[in-house]
Structure 1
């Protein structure tokens, strides 16, 4: 096992998780901003985009707070079993975002369904960003032990 590969995984997993939560939050900020009653609320597209980005940065804290431990658990399992498929990370982001934003006691109406769909789309974005940064090389420590050259 190479120490440099181990250090790279230890660095890349938290960076990938942070950027995945950040991307999902910014996407959710834009998605929730599109649900505003009047689309031209500010009469300035630049101001609306800045508001959506700012609200995305504000959403990072609660979403990151609730998503951190379940995400770490899933990422540790993915590292142990060397799961590198994009579909695993997309599915995990989808399921994780649904359980974070969906309340079992909320009424089933059009607004709740719209928010849940936008949150699940944000989970797909987060899963993709994590896979792009750190998921493609999952299990590299285990792989380096398996690919060790055999002596003659």
Structure 2
């Protein structure tokens, strides 16, 4: 059985969670890139960091959309609510996006791989906080 209202609410939470996860990932990467620029003292550098984070988030969202939807659908259908699943899956998606470069296969581990993984882990945690904790809650169980 399916509770239609709960399903609709979970779909909204999943959408908002994915957007927030991608935004947090993009802002995390931009913050690391601009960290040496002294963004705390320079408002222009801070604005550039935010703008770069938003553009990065939109690009990452495009690359991670299909794998993210698959991971979210599996979690919803199987009611997997664990933080380890969501953080790990997002980390694997980030690693996959990071290794899309054809030259990446030539080297064992590219510089920046740990940062890409950390950004993915952060995105997975943000998604879990917003929507992952209630995965599959729209299913009605008969006792």
**TM-score range, shorter-chain basis?**
0.7 to 0.9
With 44-53 and 67-76 compared, the bigger mean Cα shift is at 44-53
1:96 to 75, 93, 102: 93
Is 1:125 matched up with 2:122? yes
Distance 1:6-1:121 versus aligned 2 partners, 3 A rule: same
* Partner of residue 48, structure 2: 51
RMSD value over aligned CA atoms? 2.3
Give the Å deviation of 1:50: 2.4
Partners of 2:40 and 2:8 in 1: how far apart? Answer: 49
Partners of 1:53 and 1:136 in 2: how far apart? Answer: 28
1:141 alignment partner, SS class? coil
Asked if the contact 1:30–1:49 (Cα under 8 Å) also holds between the matched residues in 2, the reply is no
Partners of 2:44 and 2:114 in 1: how far apart? Answer: 25
TM-score by length of 2: 0.86
Asked if the contact 1:97–1:122 (Cα under 8 Å) also holds between the matched residues in 2, the reply is yes
Gaps of 5+ in 1: none
Partners of 1:80 and 1:105 in 2: how far apart? Answer: 36
Asked if the contact 1:25–1:63 (Cα under 8 Å) also holds between the matched residues in 2, the reply is yes
The number of residue pairs the alignment matches comes to: 140
Gaps of 5+ in 2: none
Give the Å deviation of 1:33: 2.2
Asked if the contact 1:85–1:136 (Cα under 8 Å) also holds between the matched residues in 2, the reply is yes
2:103 alignment partner, SS class? coil
* Partner of residue 138, structure 2: 141
Asked if the contact 2:40–2:46 (Cα under 8 Å) also holds between the matched residues in 1, the reply is no
Partners of 1:9 and 1:33 in 2: how far apart? Answer: 35
* Partner of residue 18, structure 2: 17
2:61 to 49, 59, 64: 64
